[in-house]
């Protein structure tokens, strides 16, 4: 799967962009503030309906413009799709697939699996558990057909339960709701655990290549005591949950933790090692999708060179090339890309919001 063409209107400083893209590597080279990250952000937005930088979408629309517009042509083997996303300053989002209205962001996300590697992406390792849950859930979204519905229902039920905690002093009134919640919690946790286990060999293989000096251990935590029945936990903790006003234990607290030589990676790894581990995780996940579903994901790599020495840049470049995926890489100078010599590539010069093929 690859984006063969991309049109952007009024997205940050990208006023009008129309690019024919390579199915292999696309290099974006330009000075600070020229628009490289904005281009990656636009591609990410097309595949997620949100930004990886700003929670407030109106800040992404070019100053004084009423909307932004993204349009992409996707090619996967013999198939082709035309996808569009328009975001209005008033708040509406319009998604079109092959010219038809009424599609959801999830439909776009299914068509455009992507992995992002940015300097801020270290939160996957040193941020809260929500970043690692999102990592696992990305995989389940693409691997497990019922996951998205189960996950949405689970979140809705948890919200309702938290609201109900304020209104009742008797657990029996909640029990009927908890029965459905317990079923979904066990299902989602089982899927997460299976996925984490299936991914483990890919992670270990990539870590052995990127960080041979370390022994990386991964472990999944479901969000409540191992082996315990979630229904019992909810009943037992009713008074506590009521006192704090929300459900403390459950799949909404799950985590996927990483240790290096027995210690938490965020405490002992250097920034370069953390970046390599983050890259290893994202590559492993992309390659697992390829192995299991025969689908390539797009890799978006912002500021490729930062934190990495030449050898490590070379290693990452080699793995990206052998993945056979479409890759977008930003850099400030051409020299930072010398370790990347793919056969198929296109270089774009980014200058003050203008993007020109070199």
Ligand X SMILES: Nc1ncnc2c1ncn2[C@@H]1O[C@H](COP(=O)(O)OP(=O)(O)OP(=O)(O)O)[C@@H](O)[C@H]1O
33 is in an annotated binding site: yes
127 is in an annotated binding site: no
Least distance CB 81 / ligand X (angstroms)? 26
31 is in an annotated binding site: yes
Residue number, 62 or 209, with CB nearest to ligand X:
62
Residue number, 298 or 301, with CB nearest to ligand X:
301
Least distance CB 104 / ligand X (angstroms)? 25
Residues in contact with ligand X by the rule CB under 6 A: 12-13, 30, 32-38, 59-63, 332, 350
* Spatial contact of 281 and 203, defined as CB atoms under 8 Å apart: yes
Structure tokens at 276: 């390599």
Residue number, 60 or 211, with CB nearest to ligand X:
60
Q: What is the 3-state secondary structure (H, E, C) of 87-147?
A: EECCCCEEEEECCECCCCHHHHHHHCCEEEECHHHHHHHHCCHHHHHHHHHHHHHHHCCCH
* Spatial contact of 177 and 238, defined as CB atoms under 8 Å apart: no
Least distance CB 321 / ligand X (angstroms)? 23
* Spatial contact of 160 and 177, defined as CB atoms under 8 Å apart: yes
Residue number, 62 or 217, with CB nearest to ligand X:
62
35 is in an annotated binding site: yes
34 is in an annotated binding site: yes
Least distance CB 353 / ligand X (angstroms)? 7
Least distance CB 51 / ligand X (angstroms)? 11
Provide CB contacts within 8 A for 72, sequence distance 6+: 3, 5, 6, 7, 43, 46, 82, 83, 84, 112
Residue number, 61 or 283, with CB nearest to ligand X:
61
Chain length of the chain: 358
Which residue ranges make up the annotated binding site for ATP?
A: 30-37
Going by the annotation, the residues of the binding site are: 30-37
């Amino acid at each position: 799967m690859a984006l063969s063409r991309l049109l952007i209107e009024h997205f940050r400083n990208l006023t009008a962009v129309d690019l024919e893209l390579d199915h292999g590597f696309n290099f974006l080279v330009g000075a600070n503030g020229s628009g490289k990250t904005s281009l990656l952000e636009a591609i990410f937005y097309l595949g997620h309906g949100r930004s990886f930088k700003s929670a407030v979408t109106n800040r992404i629309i070019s100053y004084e413009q009423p909307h932004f517009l993204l349009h992409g042509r996707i090619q996967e083997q013999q198939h082709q799709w035309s996808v569009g996303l328009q975001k209005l300053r008033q708040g509406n989002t319009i998604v079109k697939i092959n010219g038809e209205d009424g599609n959801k962001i999830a439909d776009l996300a299914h068509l455009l699996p992507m992995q992002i590697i940015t300097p801020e992406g270290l939160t996957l390792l040193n941020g809260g558990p929500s970043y690692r849950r999102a990592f696992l859930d990305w995989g389940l979204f693409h691997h497990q057909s019922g996951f998205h519905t189960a996950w949405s229902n689970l979140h809705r039920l948890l919200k309702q339960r938290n609201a109900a905690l304020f209104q009742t002093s008797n657990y029996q009134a909640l029990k009927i709701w908890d029965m459905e919640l317990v079923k979904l919690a066990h299902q989602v946790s089982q899927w997460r655990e299976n996925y984490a286990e299936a991914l483990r060999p890919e992670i270990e293989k990539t870590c052995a290549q990127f960080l041979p000096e370390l022994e990386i251990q991964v472990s999944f935590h479901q969000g409540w005591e191992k082996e315990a029945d979630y229904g019992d936990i909810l009943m037992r903790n009713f008074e506590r949950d009521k006192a704090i006003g929300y459900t403390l234990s459950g799949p909404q607290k799950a985590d996927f933790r990483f240790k290096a030589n027995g210690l938490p990676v965020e405490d002992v790894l250097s920034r370069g090692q953390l970046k390599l581990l983050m890259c290893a995780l994202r590559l492993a996940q992309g390659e697992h999708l390829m192995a299991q579903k025969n689908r390539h994901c797009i890799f978006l790599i912002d500021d490729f060179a930062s934190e990495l020495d030449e050898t490590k840049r070379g290693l990452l470049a080699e793995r990206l090339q052998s993945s056979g995926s479409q890759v977008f890489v930003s850099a400030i100078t051409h020299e930072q890309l010398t370790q990347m010599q793919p056969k198929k590539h296109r270089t774009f010069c980014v200058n003050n919001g203008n993007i020109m093929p070199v």
